Structure 1
Amino acid sequence: MIAPALSTRIVMARAYTCPLGRVPSAPMKRLGLAALLLALSTAASASAQHVVEAGEADCSTPRRALLTFLANLQEGDAHPEQATRCFDWGAVRIADHDRQRQVAQRFKHVLDARGLYVQMDDIPDEEDPADTLRVVPFSNTLPQFYLVRKGSQWVISAETIRHVPAWYDETFAFDVDTYLEGAPSWLTERVFGVTWWQLMALLLLLAVAFFVRWVVTWVAVAQGSRLLTTIVKTLDRRLLDRAAKPIGTVVMVLLLIYAFPMLRFSVDVNRVIIFGLSVAAAVSAVVIVYRLVDVFADVMAKRADDTETKLDDQLVPLVRKSLKVVTVVLGVIFVLQNMEVDVASLIAGVSLGGLAFTLAARDTVANLFGSVSIFSDQPFQVGDWVVMQGVEGVVEEVGMRSTRVRTFYRSLVSIPNSKVADGVIDNYGARESRRTFLKLGVQYDTTPEQIEAFCDGIRAILANNPAVKKDGYHVYFTGFGDSALEIMLYFFFVVDSWADELRQRHLIFLEVLRLADALGVGFAFPTRTVHVTTRAKEKELPDPKRPDEEALGAAVLAFGPAGALARPAGPQISHGFYPGFDRPEGPHGGQGDDPDADQADSRE
């Protein structure tokens, strides 16, 4: 085999010699010499790559021993006697040639069915490879398969021979050859490169696999619904359906991986199909976890709705996003491992790039830790009125990077979580009560008795209001103003929202107005007295209302708890037209016979 290659290269080299006896030029000499050296080196390389043909047996090197085994068991040109030459039969005491041929053929079926394609370039072709006691073709998938040196020969080890029966039983659930022996001959005829029985078995396998997928999906949805309804009352069925479909896909793919080797396709076909099915199973498993995150988040969101705190309502979306990021990262690594990619080397190769990325993304990392700090310390909740970083408004969302605040002029401000965690936060929403402080000015002609009764009456109004904190209200005559006698009101509301505070303040102020009218107390406003000399006849003004002490006391009691004049809920003139009110039925609700009401409703 060396001579033809060598002679061919020499002929090619001679093509560069000078014809017709002319002396070649220097460039032509150099070109011819280079061609000759290339031919000689190529010939030497060709001589080193010795190829074992079918019918030959050469166990002098690990590569030639494997070629002897594989080349002599090729379909259509098999030589089982030669294929068994490079096995260590003596160590396992198998002298029967039929038994040896059976073991060799079954071992070849196992390698083909599992799609294990031997890369001959990775197998040494030296008789005595340096620092090599054994050669393992598949160290990850089939480590018990290796070749050892025995004398001057390289042979497939005794341990490999001992494992062949177990490998065969694991790969093939039943012996296809046994069933084909009594089958009609047309089943073994070929069409499009495959036999009829392989084609029919493949179609049947696909039909069974898709049916199993449908059954598993249905069972997963039913059992998942039954389990989750014990945790929450209602559940988004669409999320469960989306999570159950990849579960059925995984089971279907595993069934195909288990059954496909029994169809006895070639090693090239099995290699591609099994690789694709393995990747599909890995991707489906990642999709299962990814979609189960949505199911878990939906359950946690409904549980959070039953709690008093609002921050956990915002924690659920953050946990959902974080778990999805982790799932995608780990899922990519898992899929790459199933694609037989050296993930450790890949990670080591991108370590420098990862360091640069980390430095560039330090602000993002700081914001992420800021969000963790916010959720651990809980300085505010979603819906709280806060002032932070010069922004005042209501907290709308806490994300992984920023906190969003809806200002009172309805704009949306995003503040980085790192600044929120490091800054000062004034949380109005965390107040246990809401203060009201104001000064009322009454006229200077108000008598001391009226002032005392007025203060007592206001305290009675506060005591009668259920939203007023009962251990901290003060009403006193505190000073003489430029144009009024000043009465201080200082009290606290125990309410949940600003709207409730405004409502209760409105009701109390109405009661104060009614009390002032009942006591004859007038509210002062800045005035200026001008003295004008005139000859007109002076007109006597009526004396202001001056109730006696008994009438003043009766008025104070009437505005206290259970008093006849007390209206802590305010006068019911109408339903108030507060936000979210239900329009009443009847002639004034736009539903009756009042045409004006109907026109007003149509204008709205």
Structure 2
Amino acid sequence: MGFRVKLFLLGWAIIISNSINAQVLPDVPNAGVNDTVSYSNLSSPYHTTLTFFHNLQEENFRPEVAAKALGGDLTDKRAVNQAVELKQIFDGKGVFVDIDNIPNEHDYVDSTHNYQAKYFFDTNRLPMIFLEKDGDNWVFSRFTVAKIDEMHKDTYPYGTDKLLNLLPKIGQQEYFGLHLWQLVGIFILILFVFLAHKLFTFIVDRGMYHLSVKIGYAHVAEKYLLPVARVVSIYFIVLLLDLFIRVLQLPIEMIAWIAILLNAAKPFIITIVFYKLVDLLSAYFERQADKTESNLDDQLVPLVRKTLKAFVVVVGSLFILKEGLQVDIWPFLTGLSIGGLAFALAAQDTIKNFFGSVMIFIDKPFQVGDWITSGDVDGTVEEVGFRSTRVRTFRNSLMYIPNGKIADATVDNHGLRQYRRFYSTITITYDTPPELINVFVDGLREIVKSHPKTRKDYYNVYFNNMSAFSLDIMFYVFFEVPTWGDELQARHEVLIKIVKLANELGVNFAFPTQTVHMETFPEKQGSSPVYEDNIDHYKKRLDAFVKSEMGKK
């Protein structure tokens, strides 16, 4: 009965043998005295691996011998099934096992795993598959054997594992080094990918675009969403290729390279998607920046866009190296951190300026177009960069100030003033009567009240000092204007009206003089003006001035 079972299993194994690829095996040079012609040897990790893969090659298909590498008390049929599935896991993952690099030591220990008697094939792609020493033999660990079914479903998901037995029934003839069923499978896969690409493109270009038009985002969809969606459709095609290419069981040398390319293509496409999404996010930031009055936001958006794109490229490159090309990036990151520390020490000023620019963008002490004063800096801000701020001085020269210096300095932002102060002392002669001084002061206040750009709730116009040569009137007002040019224009208008008011009332402005008093001659009158004694006379003249000058506004 046992012989019939073995014969049945051998016949079944021959039927499915063409679906199994062989790992490249050596001619067993220097294999040791334990090597046998039957390749049934479990004395070391090398011999166990050789026994397993050699007996699952097409030309020498003996799965019942390969199943010995699984160890344990498995029944013959169960062991054969799991041996075939384990081999398919290696092939589906594209893991190439170089037999020559496997240790040929009976008492081998793994120094990276606490010096245990274990051997791992590929800790990145197959972390659950490893050999361990069981008594005098090296076999696949009990943990590995217990996880074979789970790993096989993960390698061939969504029922694709059934195709492993269906496709070989198409035909076993060989053409160009491949079986007929493999060639047919490649043709079907190409046709399927082509149709899937057309379907995804139709859904993206037609469905998403028309949906965006209906909700009023046609421009955004055409410029930003459609390019991203098309790249995403390519990502789904890569997933389909990665899913079905394993079923074809191509030669391991070929499938290993294909697996590397497909694994690298996934993070690469995702990197492109996020790179394009940065443009969409930047467009949203630009729209929000346009709603604010600050011009600093408009300059911040391009800098944020460049920074995010650089970050996406760096992170995406690391994922491509780690997930796609299976490169251990930890030594690189360790070296990068040490090099980054050295770079940081050598570029302290640059880093200080960078963080200074960050503080400027966060605190917003000024914006483009503001007039600022900080130490020797006095001018209008033209541009704020990541390293320095560009200020146009009133000499029309250009100053570049490191942002680190500005962040630590006191900045007087004239551009953020709501009001611009104007303080002046109006000096009149000592012979001006008190009544006329009061009328003149009232006229000055009317000028402030009537001007459209002066602050009406706070100003001070008073006769407040008697200096050596004049009577001083404090003229303290504020202009509500945005720029220095508008302030100068407002001053000009107010001062012109003050001069007109003085001329209308006959008020003389004082200036530094020395008066020599001499005996008065009957035939010579003094130089001092003659003022009216009636105060109503001056009030009438003030009313006439107000009607004629203020009424124009």
TM bucket normalised to smaller: 0.7 to 0.9
Aligned runs of 1:158-173 on 2, under 5 Å? 158-172=142-156, 173=159
1:386 aligns with 2:372: yes
Secondary structure at 2:421's aligned position in 1? strand
Q: Could you tell me which residue of structure 1 aligns to residue 56 of structure 2?
A: 73
Q: 1:201-247, CA deviations, whole angstroms, 9 ceiling, x for partnerless residues?
A: 342243145336535754896599699989xx985953444544443
Letter in 1 for 2:201: W
Map 1:565-584 to 2 at 5 A.
Answer: 565-567=549-551, 569=553
Determine which structure has greater relative contact order: mean sequence separation of CA pairs < 8 Å that are 6+ residues apart, divided by chain length: 2
Corresponding residue number in structure 2 for 1:511: 497
Q: 2:374 corresponds to which letter in structure 1?
A: M
Alpha-carbon shift at residue 326 of structure 1 (Å)? 3.7
1:417 aligns with 2:406: no
Quick one: which of 83, 89, 92 aligns to 1:113? 92
AA paired with 2:291? Answer: D
Q: Is the 2:70–2:79 contact (alpha carbons within 8 Å) kept by the matching residues of 1?
A: no
1:371–1:401 Cα contact (<8 Å) kept:
yes
Question: Is structure 2 residue 82 aligned with structure 1 residue 95?
Answer: no
Letter in 2 for 1:119: D
Instruction: Report the equivalent of 1:86.
Output: 68
CA contact (8 A) 2:107 2:117 kept: no
Contact (CA 8 Å) 2:64, 2:76: kept in 1 or not? no
Report the Cα distance in structure 1 between the residues aligned to 2:42 and 2:100, rounded to whole angstroms: 17
Structure 1 residue 199 corresponds to structure 2 residue 183: no
Q: Does structure 2 conserve the Cα–Cα contact (< 8 Å) formed by 1:249 and 1:281?
A: no
Q: Are 2:209 and 2:222, in contact at CA under 8 Å, matched by a contact in 1?
A: no
- Match of 2:12? none
Cα distance between partner residues in 2 of 1:243 and 1:177: 35
Q: Tell whether 2:280 aligns with 1:295.
A: yes
> Relative to structure 1, is the Cα distance of residues 146 and 321 closer, same or farther in structure 2, using a 3 angstrom cutoff?
same
| Worse overlay, 299-308 or 445-454 | 445-454
Deviates more, 1:358-367 or 1:392-401: 392-401
| 1:19-418 equivalences in 2 (<5 Å) | 47-48=30-31, 56-75=39-58, 77-81=59-63, 83-88=65-70, 90-92=72-74, 94-96=75-77, 100-130=79-109, 131-172=115-156, 173-174=159-160, 175-180=162-167, 183=170, 185=171, 189-191=174-176, 195-211=182-198, 214=201, 218=205, 238-338=223-323, 339-418=325-404
Mapped partners of 2:53, 2:459: distance in 1: 98
CA separation of 1:475 and 1:152: change in aligned 2, threshold 3 A: closer
Deviations 1:222-277 (A, max 9, x none): 599699989xx985953444544443343332232222212322222221112112
Q: d(CA) in 2 for partners of 1:159 and 1:78? A: 28
Assess, with a 3 A threshold, how the Cα gap between structure 1 residues 552 and 234 changes in structure 2: closer, same or farther.
Answer: farther
Amino acid at match of 2:40: A
1:173-207: CA deviation from partner (whole Å, max 9, x where unpaired): 33234443553x4x954247574314313422431
TM-score, normalised with respect to structure 1:
0.71
1:85 and 1:437, CA in 2 relative to 1: closer, same or farther beyond 3 A? closer
Name the SS of the counterpart of 2:386 in structure 1.
coil
Q: What's the offset of the Cα at 1:419? A: 0.8
SS state at 1:47 partner: coil
Match of 1:460 among 446, 453, 460: 446
Q: Aligned in 2, Cα 1:86/1:180: closer, same or farther, shift over 3 Å? A: same
Go from structure 1 to structure 2 and tell me whether the alpha carbon gap of 1:234 and 1:204 turns closer, same or farther (over 3 Å shift): closer
Shift of 1:460: 0.5
Task: Give a deviation string over 1:547-586, Cα, whole Å, max 9, x none.
Answer: 96435323434565xx5641574xxxxxxxxxxxxxxxxx
Structure 1 pair 524–151 and aligned structure 2 pair: CA distance change class (3 A) = closer
Query: One-letter code of the match for 2:391?
Result: V
Q: Distance in 2 between matches of 1:485 and 1:411?
A: 42
Q: CA deviation at 1:89?
A: 5.7
Deviates most, 394-403 or 455-464: 394-403
- List per-residue Cα deviations over 1:522-555 (Å, max 9, x = no partner): 667899999xxxxxx999x9x9997964353234
Change in Cα spacing, 1:244 to 1:132, as seen in structure 2 (3 Å) is same
Match of 2:16 in 1: none
The farther-off stretch of 79-88 and 104-113 is 79-88
Higher mean alpha-carbon deviation, 361-370 vs 164-173, is at 164-173
1:472 to 2:458 alignment: yes
The answer as to whether partners of 1:202 and 1:263 remain within 8 angstroms in 2 is no
Q: Structure 1 residues 88 and 481 mapped into 2: Cα distance closer, same or farther (>3 Å)?
A: closer
| 1:431 equivalent in structure 2 | 417
Residue 23 of structure 2: aligned partner: none
SS of alignment partner, residue 136 of structure 1: strand
Structure 1 residue identity aligned to 2:133: R
From the superposition, tell whether residues 235 and 51 of structure 1 become closer, same or farther in structure 2 (CA, over 3 Å).
farther
CA contact (8 A) 2:275 2:309 kept: yes
Q: Is the 8 A contact 2:63 2:83 kept in 1?
A: no
Asked if the contact 2:39–2:50 (Cα under 8 Å) also holds between the matched residues in 1, the reply is no
SS of 1:467's equivalent?
Answer: coil
Distance 1:54 1:259, change over 3 A: farther
Instruction: Pick closer, same or farther for the CA change 1:493–1:276 going to 2, 3 Å.
Output: same
Shift of 1:285: 2.0
Query: How far did 1:158 drift?
Result: 4.4
Matched-pair contact (CA < 8 Å) for 1:148–1:154: yes
Alignment check: 8 A CA contact 1:52 1:68 kept:
no
CA contact (8 A) 2:44 2:137 kept: yes
Q: Quick one: structure 1 residues 88 and 103, their matched pair in 2 at CA, closer, same or farther if it must change by over 3 Å?
A: closer
State the alpha-carbon separation in 2 of the partners of residues 475 and 331 from structure 1: 68
In structure 2, what is the Cα distance between the partners aligned to 1:568 and 1:122?
100
SS of alignment partner, residue 122 of structure 2: coil
Q: Which digits, 9 at most, give the CA deviation of each residue in 1:404-426, with x for residues without a partner?
A: 22323444322111111222222
Q: d(CA) in 2 for partners of 1:341 and 1:481?
A: 87
Measure, in 2, the Cα distance between the counterparts of 1:203 and 1:250. Answer: 16
Any idea what SS the aligned residue of 1:292 has?
helix
Structure 1, gaps ≥5 residues long: 1-44, 531-536, 570-604
Question: 1:142 is aligned with what amino acid?
Answer: L
Is this contact kept in 2: 1:433–1:495, CA < 8 A? yes
Give the residue type in structure 2 aligned to 1:430.
Answer: L
Change (3 A) 1:181 1:258: closer
Quote how far apart the aligned CAs of 1:369 are: 2.5
Count of residue pairs brought into register by the alignment:
509
User: Aligned to 1:146, what secondary structure does the other structure show?
Assistant: strand
- Give the Cα–Cα distance (whole angstroms) in 1 for the partners of residues 200 and 153 of structure 2: 26
Report the Cα distance in structure 1 between the residues aligned to 2:49 and 2:215, rounded to whole angstroms: 56
Separation of aligned partners in 2, 1:564 and 1:53: 124
Partner SS for 1:566: helix
The 8 Å contact of residues 370 and 416 in structure 2, kept in 1 or not, is answered as yes
Identity, % of aligned positions: 35
Contact 2:242 2:262 in 1 (8 A): yes
Structure 1 347/528 Cα, relative in aligned 2: closer, same or farther at 3 Å?
Answer: same
Contact 1:54 1:71 in 2 (8 A): no
Q: Which amino acid aligns with 1:305?
A: D
Q: With structure 2 as the length reference, what TM-score do the two structures score?
A: 0.77
> How many angstroms does 1:438 deviate by?
2.8
For the Cα contact (< 8 Å) 1:111–1:267, is it kept in 2? no
Q: CA deviation at 1:73?
A: 2.4
Cα–Cα, structure 1 residues 181 and 245, in superposed 2: closer, same or farther, change >3 Å? closer
Structure 1 vs Structure 2 CA RMSD: 4.2
